[in-house]
Amino acid sequence: MLFSSFHFCLWGLFFFPTGVVEVSVRSPMACWFSAMLYCFGGSVLSSLMLGEPPVAFLAKTINILLASSVWYLVFYCPEDMFYRCFSLMPLRLLVAGMKEVTRTWKITDGIAHANTVYKDAWLVMVAVGWARGAGGGLISNFEQLVRGVWKPETNELLQMSYPVKVTLIGAVLFTLQRRQYLPIAKHNLMFLYTIFLVVFKVKMMLTRDATSPLAPFEAALSQMFFGSQKTPSKVKGEGVTSSNGSSVCDQPSEQHHEGAKKKQAKKTE
């Protein structure tokens, strides 16, 4: 557990968003607090959701000291030696892999904990499992606020990143398994899910390819349930209007768009 926390922190800190280095010089306190929110965000968020003390993570003093040491070494080590060591690809891969292992644990821990508070409320289980596993991402707006950055026009619900999406899928799968809707043992599912996470993480790091392996499924589901033509080409197509063959597939989109406008107009009244 302690070991996993170390790796999580390390990883969290290495993939810190832009602008943190300036904050680390301006205000070490805000930088530290932001780093702690990044590392323990899942714990804070799931505690808040279950009405438990969000400072619980501070009670595990040894974890905080460890994470703080990593934070200190990353930002203030002379000559940036620590950062340079861990920037080497093999070490990065090792740390990234270990972090994905801890993600699985976090999700299942969250689900088990939610189940003790609300017996058999599967939506609560999914929500808490997701929050525990992807907390740092979900509260990123507020983590940024600590650093004096505020980007209200974007959040992880509007534009879900790959880790947040895959954690949500994991939370759904583990909840289904616990409710015994999946014909698979828990440890097998954990193994398979972790393998999936690690393989795709390593692949994405090695190929520097940010395209999500979930993209085709998403597009299909989105098309099926929400009838959405999210492709930018469609939007462009609306501007062209001189194409002849596209009338069949354009019509519903136009209609939908018109409907949307009408709806909007009614709602603003």
Q: Where in 103-132 is the site for a copy of itself (CB under 8 A)? A: 117-118, 121-124, 127-128
The count of residues interacting with a copy of itself (CB under 8 A) is: 80
User: What are the Cα distances from residue 67, in Å, to 81, 89, 113, 150?
Assistant: 18, 22, 24, 25
> What count of residues does the chain have?
269
Place of tokens 């947040």: 164
Count of C-beta atoms within a 10 Å radius of residue 105: 16
Residue ranges in 240-259 that form contacts with a copy of itself under rule CB under 8 A? 255-256, 259
Q: Which is nearer to a copy of itself, 106 or 190 (CB)?
A: 106
- Is residue 158 a contact residue for a copy of itself (CB under 8 A)? yes
Do 7 and 99 touch, CB atoms closer than 8 A?
A: yes
* Cβ-based nearer residue to a copy of itself, 180 or 269: 269
Residue 164 structure tokens: 């947040």
Task: Tell me which residues in 63-92 interact with a copy of itself (CB under 8 A).
Answer: 64, 72, 76, 78-80, 83, 87
Q: Which of 3, 85, 91, 150 binds a copy of itself (CB under 8 A)?
A: 150
Closer of 71 and 194 to a copy of itself (Cβ): 71
Under 8 Å CB-to-CB from 44, ≥6 apart: which residues? 37, 54, 57, 135, 139
Instruction: Map residues 164-203 to x or -, x wherever contact with a copy of itself holds by CB under 8 A.
Output: ----------------------------------------
Residue 187 or 267: the one with the smaller Cβ distance to a copy of itself is 267
Kindly list the distances between the CA atom of residue 92 and the CA atoms of 109, 176, 218, in Å, as whole numbers in the listed order.
26, 33, 29
Give 153 or 233: the residue with its C-beta nearer to a copy of itself.
Answer: 153
